[in-house]
Amino acid sequence: MASDDDDLPELVNADNVESSDDSDEEKWEEIKDDNDEEETVCLFCETKFSSIEKAVPHLEQVHQFDLKTLKAKYSMDFYSYIKLVNFIRSNKITNPKDLTSTDNSPLWLDDKYMKPAADYESWLSYDFDELEISGPTSENDKIIEDLRNELRTKDQLLQQALDDMEKMKESYKRLIGKEEPTTIVQKKKNHGTGVASVSLDADSSYFESYSHFSIHHSMLSDTVRTESYRDAILKNPDAFKDKDVLDIGCGTSILSLFASQSGAKNVYAVDQSDIIYHAMEIAQINNFNNVKFLKGRLEDIEMPFEKVDIIISEWMGYFLFFEGMLDSIIYGRKNYLKEGGLILPNRCNVSIVGYGCEDRYNNFIKFFDNVYGYNMKCILKDILREAHVEKCHDEFVLTKPNIVCELDINTCDLSYSNFTYDFSLEVTKDSKMTSIVGYFDTFFDLPQENVSFSTSPAATPTHWQQCVFYLDEPVDVKVGDVVTGKFICQRDRKDLRSLNIEIRVFDKVFKYELN
């Protein structure tokens, strides 16, 4: 997934609204458009029109430039169209013939043309995706179109092969010591032990996972998560008014839109995943023009600012620390947050409880005792080493909780996930304990209204659910008993986004992996 272009920021302005100071919760989705009606200037001359719809026939009649034909010829999508418009404006093209090279290939495909040439460009609001194109008019046309598509695919594969060969040459040169390390390697040395010390190639699967829409649907539909951020931002407009905000790992940009709506002056939305292209479109469709998008890993790109007033991010993973995204928040705090600036959320803690659901234990763990008449208990050792993410129920919680880790995002360092805690879990029910369950709480401490949420089994379920550490055998416990032990959490040295957890309890040592 990673390429040389991934290391460079793509700065894109999308249309926005100036938000009202009205923090009424019922109005949080309202979006105001402060842009007056803009004139549309022809793409190739200075002729002006009152609308794009009136400008399109002019392109066809005067400049013999047909968007439908171009869309069909190059199988263009909305992003190709954005690049086309920005290419024309950036290079002051006056003749449509100058849009293609001598081999009739398009010249506007470079990702740098995702950046608009001007603050406002009416052509970028044109609904290009809805532009209907007619199919081939004859069998010969269809054959020609199929051949063009085949050639285009082969050209892309050839270019990828050439890029890969160039990367191998550069790696070989560095290997034999013929030149100094590249800037990226030098930056890598400065990243310490955090996840940014991992190469983008090695870390590509992590970012690719956030290119899939299902994970964003899961997060956005999590009302506890999304409404907590919404309330923290929109109910504290004084904290955001006229401020510069950095949204790390912006995803679909929902937090950036909240920040803009709450009165932020500028919002810088950063994400390495390709979902950022959809975030740009979302901001544009909803008329947000002070949200600026930067594609790349925070630690590897140059920012168009020195410092910001606020950092916002939804970085929490399973059991809070899984994925290690907090590393990037710490990097942003150290390098880009003004002294006394605000981080949201600013506090988190991790808790554990004793848990006992025999039905679940028997259906999952004991299941392997007899699988269609066969003993498969030999695989239990590996199954028990896995920390499982599941939805747990308050009725099966057997003990009072212990907070095993408290985290201040304003001061924590990269060792945040390495801790040891001696726990004492007071039993509140007679039952069989089948597991230890972990969860986290999150806090937004703000001047006007504090906001918090919990992922405990007693709280409204979230997409994070809970982290379950199964015991090898159920243990009888009674009210008043105190289950003591040691909880040890360490970042995995080989996979910096994963965790190794050890629980010493009931005179046994259990080791788990969360990856």
Q: What is the pTM of this model?
A: 0.62
Residue 408 shares a structural domain with residue 281: no
Using a pLDDT cut of 70, give the percent of the chain over it.
Answer: 77
Residue 290 shares a structural domain with residue 392: no
CA–CA dist 10, 114 (Å, integer): 7
Is pLDDT above 90 for 452? yes
Q: Which of 311, 334, 355 is the last residue of a domain?
A: 311
Q: Is residue 318 part of a domain?
A: no
Q: Is residue 61 part of a domain?
A: no
CA–CA dist 140, 136 (Å, integer): 8
pLDDT (0 to 100) of residue 476: 97
Catalytic residue among 39, 302, 314, 390: 314
Residues 6+ apart with CB under 8 A from 514: 318, 319, 322, 387, 467, 498, 499, 500, 501
Residue 384 shares a structural domain with residue 505: yes
Residue 505 shares a structural domain with residue 357: yes
Residue 352 shares a structural domain with residue 292: no
Q: Which range marks the domain in which residue 460 is found?
A: 347-514
The mean per-residue pLDDT over the stretch 393-410 comes to 97
The mean per-residue pLDDT over the stretch 270-280 comes to 88
Is pLDDT above 90 for 380? no
pLDDT (0 to 100) of residue 72: 84
Using a pLDDT cut of 90, give the percent of the chain over it.
Answer: 52
Q: Is residue 291 part of a domain?
A: yes
Residue 377 to residues 330, 374, 382, 491, 502: CA-CA distances in angstroms? 43, 9, 10, 29, 22
Residue 481 shares a structural domain with residue 351: yes
Is pLDDT above 60 for 138? no
CA–CA dist 294, 317 (Å, integer): 23
Peptide bond into 345 cis (omega under 30): yes
pLDDT (0 to 100) of residue 35: 42
Residues 6+ apart with CB under 8 A from 378: none
A 10 A CB-CB count for 216 gives 18
pLDDT (0 to 100) of residue 139: 60
Each residue's pLDDT tens digit, 156-212:
667 666 665 665 555 444 444 433 322 222 343 345 567 666 655 555 554 565 555
pLDDT (0 to 100) of residue 84: 92
Residue 213 shares a structural domain with residue 356: no
pLDDT (0 to 100) of residue 435: 97
From its phi and psi, is residue 475 left (phi > 0), alpha (psi between -120 and 50) or beta?
beta
Residue 363 shares a structural domain with residue 502: yes
The mean per-residue pLDDT over the stretch 485-508 comes to 92
Three-state secondary structure along 358-397?
HHHHHHHCHHHHCECCECCHHHHHHHHHECEEECCCHHHE
Q: Is residue 446 part of a domain?
A: yes
Is pLDDT above 60 for 467? yes
Q: Is residue 50 part of a domain?
A: no
- 336, 310 in Cβ contact below 8 A? no
- 247, 312 in Cβ contact below 8 A? yes
pLDDT (0 to 100) of residue 27: 43
Residue 355 shares a structural domain with residue 294: no
pLDDT (0 to 100) of residue 398: 98
CA–CA dist 312, 343 (Å, integer): 6
Q: Which of 266, 288, 311 is the last residue of a domain?
A: 311
Share of the chain residues as helix, strand and coil, in percent rounded to the nearest 5: 35, 25, 40
pLDDT (0 to 100) of residue 195: 63
Residues 6+ apart with CB under 8 A from 462: 222, 224, 225, 453, 455
Q: Which of 255, 290, 311 is the last residue of a domain?
A: 311
Each residue's pLDDT tens digit, 6-64:
444 445 444 443 444 444 444 434 433 444 446 899 999 999 998 888 899 999 999 99
The mean per-residue pLDDT over the stretch 136-140 comes to 54
The mean per-residue pLDDT over the stretch 250-267 comes to 96
Answer with the residue of higher pLDDT: 220 or 315. 315
- The label of the residue with tokens 């939305």 reads 269
Question: Pairing state of beta strands 266-271 and 244-248?
Answer: parallel
In the residue annotation, 314 being an active-site residue is answered as yes
- 87, 113 in Cβ contact below 8 A? yes
Q: Is residue 437 part of a domain?
A: yes
Residue 258 shares a structural domain with residue 381: no
Q: What angle (nearest 5°) sits at the alpha carbon of residue 362, between those of residues 357 and 365? A: 105
Residue 282 shares a structural domain with residue 367: no
Q: Is residue 214 part of a domain?
A: yes
Q: Is residue 2 part of a domain?
A: yes
In this structure, of 171-185, 291-305, 338-352, 403-417, the range with the lowest mean pLDDT score is 171-185
133 — pLDDT class (breaks 50, 70, 90) = low
pLDDT (0 to 100) of residue 288: 94
Q: What angle (nearest 5°) sits at the alpha carbon of residue 389, between those of residues 384 and 392? A: 105
Residue 304 shares a structural domain with residue 375: no
The mean per-residue pLDDT over the stretch 402-428 comes to 96
The mean per-residue pLDDT over the stretch 92-101 comes to 89
Amino acid identity for residue 276 in this structure: I
Is pLDDT above 90 for 307? yes
Residues 6+ apart with CB under 8 A from 452: 228, 441, 442, 443, 444
In the residue annotation, 406 being an active-site residue is answered as no
Residues 6+ apart with CB under 8 A from 354: 397, 398, 399, 425, 427, 433, 436, 437, 477, 483
Is pLDDT above 90 for 331? yes
Q: Give the residues across from 451 on adjacent strands.
A: 444
CA–CA dist 27, 230 (Å, integer): 11
A 10 A CB-CB count for 303 gives 17
Each residue's pLDDT tens digit, 104-129:
788 988 888 888 877 778 888 888 87
Answer with the residue of higher pLDDT: 334 or 194. 334
pLDDT (0 to 100) of residue 165: 60
CATH of residue 230? 3.40.50.150
Which stretches of 128-246 are DSSP H helices? 139-175, 183-189, 204-209, 213-220, 223-234, 237-240
CATH of residue 489? 2.70.160.11
CA–CA dist 7, 300 (Å, integer): 6
- The label of the residue with tokens 């430039």 reads 65
Q: How many domains does the chain have?
A: 2
The mean per-residue pLDDT over the stretch 205-223 comes to 66
